[in-house]
Amino acid sequence: MKSSIYLLFLLCSLHVVGQTTHQITVKVNQGPDCPALTSIDTQEAFQVYPNPVSDVLYLESNTHSGSASLLNLNGKVLRKTSLHHGSAAIDVKALAPGIYILRFIDNSRLRQVKVRVK
């Protein structure tokens, strides 16, 4: 059971690293001794680029609708946009250099990505 929890943590950590976030579904069959991993399904959910960014941050999603907000580390919404045909752009030129959080919501799913503004 401990190794399964570690594997799940490792798989869920993949979406934090890099610029692409993945939706990860792990199916586990429970047996008498321990659960057994039966399949892993990764589906690219959305891309955020460039990161770090200095002018315009672009979003692309395999869903055609959704909303994105750029927040400071205190949780204040600084920019907000909607996806049109699976893409959106957020102008960050006026923002101070630093770390921000991009919050993306589609089909009742919430994803967050750390964004560095140069």
Residue 102 scores a pLDDT above 80: yes
The domain defined by 2-117 carries CATH number 1.10.1040.10: no
Q: Residue ranges per domain, the chain?
A: 2-117
Tens digit of each residue's pLDDT (9 = 90 or more) over 2-48: 444 444 444 444 444 344 445 555 555 555 555 554 455 455 567 89
User: 3-class SS at 84?
Assistant: strand
The model's pTM is 0.64
35-49 sheet: strands from edge to edge: 20-30, 35-49, 56-61, 87-91
